Amino acid sequence: MSITSLYPSALPELPIRETFPQIVRALSEGNRAVLAAPPGAGKTTLVPLLLLEQDWCTGKIILLEPRRLAARAAAGRMASLLDQQPGETVGYRMRLDNRISAKTRIEVVTEGVFARMVLEDPELTGISAVLFDEFHERSLDADFGLALALDVQAGLREDLRIVVMSATLDIERISGLLQGAPMIRSEGRAYPVEVRYKDRPGDERIEDAVAKAVLDAHGQESGSILAFLPGQAEILRTAERLEGRLAGDTSIVPLFGNLSQKEQDLAIRPCPPGKRKVVLATSIAETSITIDGVRIVIDSGQQRLPVFEPSTGITRLETTRVSQAAADQRAGRAGRTEPGVAIRLWHQGQTAALPAFAPAQILSSDLSGLALDMAHWGVRDASVLAFLDQPPAPALAEARQLLRMLGALDALDALTAKGRLMRELALPPRLAAMAISGAEDGHATTACKLAVLMTEQGLGGNAIDLEERLRRFDREKGERAEAARKLAGRLVKSLGNSPINDQNGNIGALLLHAYPDRVAIQRGGHGRFVMANGRGAAVHETERLAGARMLVIADLTGRAAQARVLAATEVSRADVDAELADVIERRDEGFFDMSSRQVRARRVVRIGAVLLDESPLPRPTGAAAAEALADGIRQLGLQVLDFGRDGSQLRDRIGFLHRTVGEPWPDVADEALLARLEEWFVPFQGGKTSLDSIDAGSLAEGLRSLLPHEIRQDLGRMAPSHFEAPTGQRHPIRYDGAEPVLTIRVQELFGLTKHPSVAGGRLPLLLELTSPAHRPIQTTRDLPGFWSGSWKDVRADMRGRYPRHPWPEDPAAAMPTNRAKPRGT
């Protein structure tokens, strides 16, 4: 059956067909369009077939999908509409599987594949249109692919059509990026979906709540069930809870990325007549696929997203709440083939608090691959490309630093010969560098198999030890494992003339070329390690690797204090010396010994935070000793320093001026002083080798050095250390609270008619007036008001208690004194 015979009457009656005239007009009059259509509208399968009929479409149409499952499903659905098999008019192309022929006019590809297509052929020869499906997922590859396509269209191919599509999309923002491209909306689902809420108690495990909701819905509703959970572990635990509790006509089917193609296809295949199924899925089932027979969706409201930490180079998975757009996508799965029900396991009021859209991956991803591709494209400044969200400058800088360490970029951030080969390998930069180094050492096959193993989750099992995982991968049966081994073989060939039969490659030595910053040494006990990047990591004590002295860690999860190793292998000191000779540091250094609270010295061999060897040296002196003392203070806290009475008051005075006046008076709080130890502490500790030897005078001198020269003379005027009473006596002023305080006997202020102040007269002192026995009798911020007001009551009370001391009726006119009676009386 030809396409022409299908269009338009023979195409399925789906809502997207109402927008066909708008789509045709937009792409006939221009070269860009934005299409928003809810789940079930038919945009993924019908729009490419529509565009293939247009006069301007003389070449291929490329349809981008975020996941392999979605790409295969979309291609299969379009091929079935043509009464064909994938690989004829419609085909697909992805990392481990291709169904493309000379007859193929519509290619469904995963987003990463398209970026490589553009980089290898900047003119996109023979391609008439590029369609970005499910763009709302905002993957890094989709963002970069769109930026490249727009760059090609603007500079080389004005005839190239670009369409951005999604079920839930910030359509105005996308249109703005596409310079005002027409916005086309398809309204309404194919079938109505009733949304219900079932609040999950905070202490109930997600798998328990989902299992209970599945059992309730299974008993109350007809049709198959699709339940969304955050990850594989929760899916397997939910399946355990449901086992044996459903009727015999219902099967339980998992759906997540690690499954084989056959297992994934089983989840979306129609049930036999009279049968039902429960599909337990991750976000993989949100978009672009129809799971036949599903009319009930149960949404846990959670998802697992990768979060990259540029400072450590580690990507960890974090469980978060879904966005409103994702929740709508999930609910829409229930209305693809008939009216359905969506059950959300949260309170209805919480929906409004969900973020509108999923965060863009480009804002929290490892950007090393992007930086490598940008260098190949000849772009260093990301702002010249049309990104919806610009990549964060710090993360891009960290990515380039990694690429320089791997030898992919030179000092000017231009591609090196090794960098060009790394980019051609279609591997993450770290693993590409490992494959190239492995080939140079005669271990190309081991290196390439290891690289593929680490990019295809689930291959070889989930053992922490990568040696064990690689052995299992070599023996593993099934199409996915075979396809992965074939991919490894193609990578070996692309590396040129290198041995291909090297079954004894040293995995630890190979991984050092990918993760030199994750060499780890045991520290702190069995199973506890510290990596070269300074981060700690733990291996469960029952694992064989827990007893290793050194590891190279390829993957871990969790935050800094609870990082858990997911993939690693043991490595020897000899391997480290041989493979990382250029990054090993050998130097003499002073350090602070916590036990003795003294400075010591040693000769060290280290890689970052991993100390390989050390030997003692004579105790350091001078600046080296002072810097080591500063390190000790950072570890123990500023409280270990005794500033003395005068030094503490000096610090209080400067701190008071910083709080009340601000710049240029410096911050002298603990955190601020710890951050500036090299400025005020180190230069004033010559000859000191222990905390006990530090004197208060040197600390006060250091504090004064923080004051800009032009304001040092103002300190005494703005925050005087003492108040000189009318008697001539000097009394210290306290600055350790919210306001300056002067404690003084009331008789010493007789005759004073103006309230004492600081900060150039702007801030009054809080006077704590005391009796001759130094006991408090009154506090005031208005001395003249006190003389004319409550002094009368104070005088009446105090005269009887202290008859030998003066208590005049008019203290403002009396002589000040610090004696029992004024002289001469």
Dist CA 154 CA 160 (whole Å):
9
The answer on 691 and 777 residing in a single domain is no
Residue 380 within a domain: no
pLDDT for 305 equals 84
Dist CA 815 CA 747 (whole Å):
8
Q: How is the chain split among helix, strand and coil, in percent rounded to 5?
A: 40, 20, 40
pLDDT for 167 equals 73
The answer on 714 and 737 residing in a single domain is no
The answer on 497 and 621 residing in a single domain is no
**What average pLDDT score do residues 629-643 get?**
93
Domain end call among 323, 340, 362: 362
775 token code pair: 């006991």
Residue 567's DSSP bridge partners are: 555
DSSP state, 263?
A: H
Answer positive or negative: Cα dihedral of 752, 754, 756, 761: negative
Where residue 20 sits, what CATH number does that domain have?
3.40.50.300
**What average pLDDT score do residues 50-64 get?**
95
CB of 332 within 8 A of CB of 189? Answer: yes
Residue 600's DSSP bridge partners are: 591
pLDDT for 337 equals 78
**What average pLDDT score do residues 36-46 get?**
85
Residue 282 within a domain: yes
Q: How many residues belong to the chain?
A: 825
Residue 377 within a domain: no
The answer on 449 and 354 residing in a single domain is no
Chain segment 535-579, per-residue pLDDT in tens? 899 999 999 999 999 999 999 887 766 689 999 999 999 999 999
Chain segment 399-447, per-residue pLDDT in tens? 999 999 999 999 999 999 999 999 989 899 999 999 999 998 889 999 9
Residue 406 within a domain: no
Dist CA 305 CA 321 (whole Å):
10
Domain residues for the domain of 447 are 425-583
Pick from 233, 260, 230: nearest CA to 456: 260
Tell me the Ramachandran region of residue 171: left when phi exceeds 0, alpha when psi lies from -120 to 50, beta otherwise. alpha
**What average pLDDT score do residues 650-671 get?**
91
**Number of helices (H), then strands (E), in the chain:** 29, 31
Task: Determine the residue type at 385.
Answer: L
CA 824 to chain centroid, in Å, comes to 80
- For 299-334, b where at least 16 C-beta lie within 10 A, e where not — what string? bbbbbbbeebbbebbbbbeeebbbbbbbbbbbbbbb
Chain segment 285-335, per-residue pLDDT in tens? 776 677 778 899 999 999 988 888 776 677 777 888 999 888 988 888 888
Class of residue 565 by CB neighbours under 10 A (exposed 0-12, middle 13-18, buried 19+): buried
Domain end call among 362, 381, 415: 362
Chain segment 198-246, per-residue pLDDT in tens? 999 888 999 999 999 999 999 999 999 999 999 988 999 999 999 988 8
320 token code pair: 């978060």
DSSP state, 613?
A: E
> What pLDDT band is residue 1 in, cutting at 50, 70 and 90?
very low
The answer on 684 and 609 residing in a single domain is yes
3-state secondary structure of 185: strand
pLDDT for 10 equals 66
pLDDT for 454 equals 92
Chain segment 467-520, per-residue pLDDT in tens? 999 999 999 988 888 989 999 999 999 887 655 556 557 999 999 999 999 999
Residue 547 within a domain: yes
**Residue at token pair 């769109």:** 146
The answer on 79 and 14 residing in a single domain is yes
Pick from 402, 469, 476: nearest CA to 433: 402
Dist CA 715 CA 738 (whole Å):
18
The answer on 601 and 458 residing in a single domain is no
**Residue at token pair 């590859």:** 141
The answer on 162 and 216 residing in a single domain is no
* Side-chain-side CA neighbours of residue 400 (13 Å): 20
pLDDT for 318 equals 83
Average pLDDT of the chain, as a whole number: 89
The answer on 789 and 685 residing in a single domain is no
- What are the two backbone dihedrals, phi and then psi, of residue 98, each rounded to the nearest 5 degrees? -130, 140
pLDDT for 343 equals 97
Number of domains in the chain: 5
pLDDT for 310 equals 72
pTM equals 0.74
DSSP state, 406?
A: H
Chain segment 661-670, per-residue pLDDT in tens? 888 999 999 9
pLDDT for 4 equals 47
673 token code pair: 């002083």
pLDDT for 496 equals 79
The answer on 751 and 690 residing in a single domain is no
Residue 405 within a domain: no
The answer on 611 and 556 residing in a single domain is no
CB of 357 within 8 A of CB of 168? Answer: yes
Alpha-carbon dihedral angle through residues 173, 177, 181, 183, given to the nearest 10 degrees: -20
pLDDT for 8 equals 53
Residue 175: pLDDT above 50?
yes
Domain end call among 686, 719, 752: 719
Residue 755: pLDDT above 60?
yes
CB of 229 within 8 A of CB of 210? Answer: yes
CA angle 680, 684, 686 (to 5 degrees): 145
Pick from 164, 173, 168: nearest CA to 39: 168
As a whole-number percent, the residues of the chain with pLDDT over 90 amount to 65
The answer on 111 and 33 residing in a single domain is yes
pLDDT for 124 equals 96
Residue 686 within a domain: yes
Chain segment 252-286, per-residue pLDDT in tens? 999 887 777 777 777 778 888 889 999 999 988 77
Residue 415 within a domain: no
Residue 729: pLDDT above 70?
yes
